[in-house]
Structure 1
Amino acid sequence: MYLLFPGRHHLLTRFQHEYLSMLGKEGLWGAIDVAGKSLEKAGRIKGVIFAVTSANHNSTRRNPLPLYQRAMMIQDFSSDLGYPSYVVPIDDIGLSDHFAEYTIKKIEAETDGKLQLTPNNAVVLCSTPVMHLYQNLGYSILPVERIPGTKESFVTKQPWQILESIAVDKRLPKDQEDYVRYVHPASKRLWEEYGIVEKVKVLFADSVVGDDGDLTESRDYNTYVREMDEIAELKFNETKDYIRPGRIGDIGCAVGSWIKLATEQPNLIESDFYGVEIARKLYDICHQRKENGDFSNTNVFFLRKNAVTGLVFPKGSMKTIHTSSLTHEIESYGDREKLLSFISNRYEELAHGGVWINRDVVGPEDKDKIVYLWLNEEDGNNDTSVKTFSSKQEKKNHLDSISTYARFFYFQKEFRKEQNYRLDYEIRSLEGKNFLVMSLQNVCEFLSKKDYTDNWDSEMHESFCFWSFEDWKTEMKRSGFTLSSSSRAYSNPWIVENRFLGKAALYETSSSFPKGISDLQLLSWPVTHMLLVAAK
């Protein structure tokens, strides 16, 4: 009989080792299953199969360790069990009622048919609700930490509880009760040799990135990837003249499109390229593109690291660092302290003479200026009442159907509501036209987001206009950077042409209470983007 032990296996416990050792010595006959009944399984144990789930994930709270470290730890852990052990990677397929069936088939495929598990030749070791998926396939379940019976109770702490305890305990591991008492020596050896304790603490302390390593869980990645590829050439052409050969890093590289174009440049043929991406789905796409041969330079490497909480490159090692549409997300999903830390970390990573090219959205200079905003009321249904929706698609369909003017009221209600942001405005009518009176900063926030109905809820988290271009220059200089004269803020002509004209107009007035439209003066379009070229 085989033992199938599915799990993430980032941390192995003394209890698990004692449990597996006991089964090896005493056999399966008479072992108590999850229902409290005695197994009637004869024969010796032929081996234990550690099905390592989420094997393709790492560097997140749920999955801090990469597969190779988990495999090393398991082999050390099982070296004295008295029967063979096998490590089989099981990649993540999301929540699925067929996950157990997939795992069994994956084991057979990964072992070239050597391990063909059935309810007649294998018993599953599992203490989590996943066990029900294996029960449905006819497998007997041994409960490991779980106390047999219908009540969900446990004889000892589960591995994930111990891991979380270690992550939040500020004491050294040797002073932590859970670490000393529960963690198996094999886990301690690997965790200490590879600095896993420190890595886990950083992951759990990070308020920017979610459990699975993404900045936001509400983003539609199909739409996002398509948009990134569509504007990749525009971004690259705007930045290519400032790239310095050598070690070149693209932080927040998305699907690697900027790097792909950079590898095609003759003057960069001797350079090494490093793409850094924390979002798991995008990181996976980068590796797939590399396997497909999409990059002209073979020296392209992708790293799944969090550039917010620390350095991602060695100090003084980089000739060029590129970021695009990233810094505003750090401010939006983290806080000001994290953004300032991000800026100083990039300075530390650059070699002397190295350059950080940062392309992003930006706010207007006179953010607090009160302006009059006209919005089109005839380019859709002009129902300004704010409704609730049962699905993301239903909300998108409604937002697409209403006028630009009506869409503002959804924005006003939902923009950064989780941060308790208050968007003040007034409605004033002049000669039969409605004008929204508010700060220029709030006007720019709305205009920059009003068309992102695919990812509306995600966009409502994000602040674009927290700093003006002069604010950015001040903070960059404070961190030690020298700003190139090529740095600039500008109104993106495509956005003006396709999203502003006919949809909105901006006015100012010197009168406290203008009596007519003639008392308003038309304003130029505010800046939308910036290009910062900052040298060390």
Structure 2
Amino acid sequence: MYLLLPGRHHLLTRFQHEYLSMLGKEGLWGAVDIYGKDLEVKEKVTAVIFAVTSANHYSTRRNPLPLYQRAMMIQDFSSDLGYSSYVVPIDDVGHSEHFGQYTIKKIEAETDGLLRLNSDNTIVLCSTPVVKLYEDLGFRILPVEKIPGKKEEYLTKLPWQIIEGIVSDDRPIDKHLEYINYVHPASKRLWKEYGVVEKVRLLFSDAVVGEDGDLTETRNYNSYVREMDEIAELKFNETRDFIRPGRIGDIGCAVGSWIKLATEESGLAESDFYGVEIARKLYDICHQRKENGDFQNTNVFFLRKNAVTGLVFPKSSMKTIHTSSLTHEIESYTGRKNLLSFIQNRYEELSLGGVWINRDVVGPEDKEKEVYLWLDEKDGIADTDAKSFSSKEEKKKHLDSLSTYARFFHFQRDFRKEQNYQLKYTLKTIEEKSFLVLSLKDACEYLSKKDYTDNWDSEMHESFCYWSFSEWKTSLEEVGFKIQNSSRAYSNPWIIENRYQNKSEIWETVSTSANSLSDLKLVSWPVTNMLLIAVK
């Protein structure tokens, strides 16, 4: 008789080992099922199958350990049970009412038909609501930690509760009573050897990513990946002259497009390339591209690491670090303290003479200056009222239908509302021309985001204009960087031509009062992007 123990198996407990050992020694006849009834199974246990779910996920809060570490731990854990054990990876397939059936089929496929589990030859061990998926298939269930019955009562701590206890208490692990008393020695050995405690605590303290390791839950990845590929050559051509051969890192590498182009450069043929990407879906795409042979250099490696609160490369090891459209997300999602930490970490990672190439959006100088913003009222409908939407698609359709002027009022309500940001403005009409009077910074924030209706909710989190170019240079110089003269802030011609011109104008006063258009003058288009070349 087989035992099937499905779960993520990032931590194994003494109780689980005692339970499995008891079933092996005393048999299944007297075991009590989830309803408190005797199982009355005469057959002895022949093997336990650890179905490792979310096997393709790691470095996230829900799944901190990679599959190979979980498998090592399980084999150590089960070495003295007295019967065989199998580790079978089960990839994440999202929420599905057929997951139990998928798991059974996956086990058969992964073992080349060696393990064909069914309700006659297998008992499922489960203490979570997942039990229903197997019960519906006719499997008998042993509750392990759960006390039989309908109440949510347990004999001991569940593995995930122990992990949450570890991350909520920053005492040294050898003084953590739950860890000492509940965790099986096999888990303790692996967690110590691989520094898992520190890794798990870091993942849970990371404000950048969600439970499953995505930067934001509101992003449409199809459009995002398409946009990244479309601008890859532009980004590379702008940065190629500053890349220094050796160990080259691309932090926030998205789908690896910048690295792909870099591997095609003959002068970088002897270099090693490291792509760092925290978003799971993008990281998976990077590995798929590597398997497909998209990179001309074989020494291309991809890592899932948190680059915000810690080092991702050894100190003084890198010749080039590249980041693009990343630093504003760190500021937007985690705040100034983490942005400053990110800057310091990049300085630590570079060798003497190494270069950090940072390409990103940037705010204008004189950000707080009051300006008069004119927006086109005739290129769409004039609906400025607040509305609720049942889907992203419905919201996008509505936003796309609005005039540039009307869309501003939706932006004003939505922009960084979770951070309680108040975008202040007044309305003023001069010679029948309507203006929004506001800070230059807020005007630039709107102009830079008004067309991102595909990912509107995601973009509303993000601030582009928190620092001007001079403020960026000062912040890097304070750490120890020297800024190359080739660094610059500029207005992206495509953005100006396709998104700003004929839809907006920025004016400023030339006198103490603005009662006629002669009291105003047009302002040159503000900067939109920067290229910072910072040398250690």
8 A contact 2:77–2:184 mirrored in 1: yes
Q: Is the aligned partner of 1:389 residue 2:369?
A: no
Match of residue 377 from structure 2 = 377
How many angstroms apart in 1 are the aligned matches of 2:347 and 2:406?
Answer: 44
Deviations, residues 432-461 of structure 1 (Å, cap 9, x unaligned)? 221100000000111111111111000010
Q: Counterpart of 2:252? A: 252
Report whether the alignment pairs 1:500 with 2:500: yes
Q: What code does the residue aligned with 2:103 have?
A: T
Report the AA paired with residue 401 of structure 2.
S
1:235 matched to which residue of 2?
Answer: 235
Give the partner amino acid of 2:254: A
Aligned to 1:71: 71
Structure 1 residue 512, shift from structure 2 partner: 4.6
After TM superposition, list the pairs within 5 Å mapping 1:99-498 onto structure 2: 99-498=99-498
Deviations 1:115-147 (A, max 9, x none): 011111111111111111111111111111111
Aligned to 2:92: 92
Deviations 1:307-361 (A, max 9, x none): 0011101111111000000000000010111000100110111111110000000
- Contact 2:513 2:519 (C-alpha < 8 Å) held by counterparts: no
Distance 1:373 1:251 in 2: 36
Secondary structure in 1 aligned to 2:371? strand
Structure 1: distance between partners of 2:434 and 2:41: 79
In the TM superposition, residue 32 of structure 1 has moved relative to its aligned partner by: 1.2
Q: 1:267 is aligned with what amino acid?
A: G
- In 2: Cα distance, 1:376 partner to 1:236 partner: 35
SS of the residue 2:290 aligns to: helix
| Secondary structure, counterpart of 1:25 in structure 2 | helix
| Equivalent AA in structure 1 for residue 113 of structure 2 | G
On the 8 A contact 2:46/2:84 being kept in 1, the answer is yes
Alignment deviations for residues 55-108 of structure 1 (CA, whole Å, 9 cap, x no partner): 111111111111111111101110111100000111111111111111111111
Question: What SS is found at the alignment partner of 2:250?
Answer: strand
* Segment drifting more, 112-121 vs 200-209: 200-209
Aligned: 1:59 with 2:59: yes
Distance 1:434 1:116 in 2: 73
Matches of 2:105 and 2:492, distance apart in 1 = 52
> What SS does structure 1 have at the residue aligned with 2:12?
coil
- Which AA in structure 1 matches 2:172? L
Q: For residue 408 of structure 1, what is the amino acid of its counterpart?
A: F
Aligned equivalents of 1:46, 1:380: Cα separation in 2 = 70
What is the CA–CA distance in structure 2 between the aligned matches of 1:493 and 1:149, rounded to whole Å? Answer: 68
d(CA) in 1 for partners of 2:174 and 2:267? 52
Classify the secondary structure of the residue corresponding to 2:259: helix
Deviates more, 1:21-30 or 1:84-93: 21-30
Give the counterpart letter for 2:529 in structure 1: H
Report the Cα distance in structure 2 between the residues aligned to 1:209 and 1:330, rounded to whole angstroms: 11
What CA distance in whole angstroms lies between the structure 2 residues aligned with 1:298 and 1:337?
A: 37
**What's the secondary structure of 1:368's corresponding residue?**
coil
Give the CA deviation at 1:255: 0.3
Q: How many Å apart are 1:208 and its aligned residue?
A: 2.0
Asked if the contact 2:2–2:121 (Cα under 8 Å) also holds between the matched residues in 1, the reply is yes
SS in 2 for 1:118: coil
TM-score (norm 1): 0.99
The superposition leaves residues 247-304 of structure 1 with CA deviations (integer Å, 9 ceiling, x where unpaired) of: 1000000000000000001111111100000010000000000000000111100000
User: Which letter does structure 1 place at the counterpart of 2:149?
Assistant: G
- Could you report, residue by residue, the CA deviation over 1:143-199 in whole angstroms, capped at 9, with x for unpaired residues? 111111111221111100000111121111111110011001111111111111111
Q: Secondary structure at the match of 1:123?
A: strand
Separation (CA, whole Å) in 2 of partners of 1:140 and 1:431: 80
Distance in 2 between residues matched to 1:460 and 1:158, nearest whole Å: 38
Distance 2:397 2:383 in 1: 14
Letter in 2 for 1:386: A
Checking the alignment, whether the CA contact within 8 Å between 2:323 and 2:359 is kept in structure 1 is: yes
CA deviations on 1:481-501 (whole Å, 9 max, x unpaired) are 111111000000010011111
* 1:20-77 residue CA offsets vs partner (Å, 9 max, x unmatched): 1111112122321112222232211110000111111111111111111111110111
Question: Per-residue CA shift, 1:376-410, capped at 9, x if unaligned?
Answer: 11111111111111111111111011111111111
Q: Distance in 1 between matches of 2:258 and 2:397?
A: 32
TM-score (norm 2): 0.99
> 1-side partners of 2:139 and 2:433: how far apart?
71
Instruction: In structure 2, give the amino acid aligned to 1:151.
Output: K
In structure 1, give the amino acid aligned to 2:393.
Q
SS at the partner of 2:386? Answer: coil
Query: In 2 relative to 1, CA 512–414 (structure 1 residues): closer, same or farther, beyond 3 Å?
Result: farther
Distance 1:260 1:238 in 2: 15
User: Where does structure 2 lack aligned partners over 5 or more consecutive residues?
Assistant: none
Distance, in Å, in 1 between the alignment partners of 2:514 and 2:316 is 57
1:530, 1:475 → 2: CA distance?
15
Deviations 1:458-509 (A, max 9, x none): 0010010000000000001011111111100000001001111111110001
SS at match of 2:260: helix
Tell me the equivalent position of 1:519: 519
- SS of the equivalent of 1:43 reads coil
Asked if the contact 2:10/2:64 (under 8 Å) is kept, the reply is yes
Residue type of the alignment partner of 1:5: L
Identity value in percent: 74
2:249 is paired with a residue of what secondary structure? Answer: strand
**Matched residues in 2 for 1:42 and 1:292: separation?**
51
- Cα distance in 1 for residues equivalent to 2:443 and 2:40: 72
Query: What residue identity is the alignment partner of 1:222?
Result: N
**How far apart, in 2, do the equivalents of 1:157 and 1:447 lie?**
53
Say what the alpha-carbon RMSD is for the aligned residues.
0.9
CA separation in 2, counterparts of 1:523 and 1:192? 60
**Aligned residue number for residue 9 of structure 2:** 9
- The alpha carbon displacement at 1:216 in A equals 1.1
